[in-house]
Structure 1
Amino acid sequence: MLSPHEIATLVLLCGNSQPRDLDTVDVETLLALQLLTLERPSPGVSEPRVTLQGHALLKSLGVLRVRKGMQTAAALR
């Protein structure tokens, strides 16, 4: 089960590919669960990206919705 912080980290990364101040433990957990992956666009640079499994989880939680073939982050209420 994911913690609220891990879910929030996933939501932040879904909406913004370079958010600041992410908790390393949360990112490591999401990587281990294959909900995130690290892409290396250039040497020495790592960018976390939400995987298909991560998007599916966010969709099942109601955070993502599909609109005209594209996934978008829904506003949290």
Structure 2
Amino acid sequence: MLSPHEFTTLMLVRDASDQIEPDSAELRTLLERQLVIVELLPSGHRRLRTTLQGDTVLQAISRIH
């Protein structure tokens, strides 16, 4: 089960990943649970992205509300 902060962080990764602190405990949890990955872009920059599993969690949440 994810905490409310982890759900919020997952939504931020999907919608505004540049606003996330890279060393947050919530982000580490999402990475460990494979709900988020770090992509290396051709420019050399890194970008956070939700995985298929992370997208599934977010879709399930949106159906509840």
Please classify the TM superposition score into its range, dividing by the shorter chain length. Answer: 0.7 to 0.9
Matched residues, number: 62
Question: Which stretches of structure 1, 4 residues or more, deviate above 6 A after TM superposition?
Answer: none
Higher share of residues assigned strand: 1
* More contact order relative to length (CA 8 Å, sep ≥ 6): 2
**1:8, 1:34 → 2: CA distance?**
16
C-alpha RMSD of matched pairs (Å): 2.0
**2:54, 2:12 → 1: CA distance?**
12
**2:29, 2:4 → 1: CA distance?**
13
8 Å contact kept, 1:9–1:22: no
- Identity within the alignment, %: 37
Instruction: For structure 1, list consecutive stretches of 5 or more residues without a partner in the other structure.
Output: 64-76
Are 2:29 and 1:29 aligned? yes
Are 2:11 and 1:11 aligned? yes
The two structures have a TM-score, normalised by structure 1, of 0.69
Measure how far apart 1:18 and its partner are.
1.4
The two structures have a TM-score, normalised by structure 2, of 0.80
Instruction: For structure 2, list consecutive stretches of 5 or more residues without a partner in the other structure.
Output: none
**1:28, 1:21 → 2: CA distance?**
10
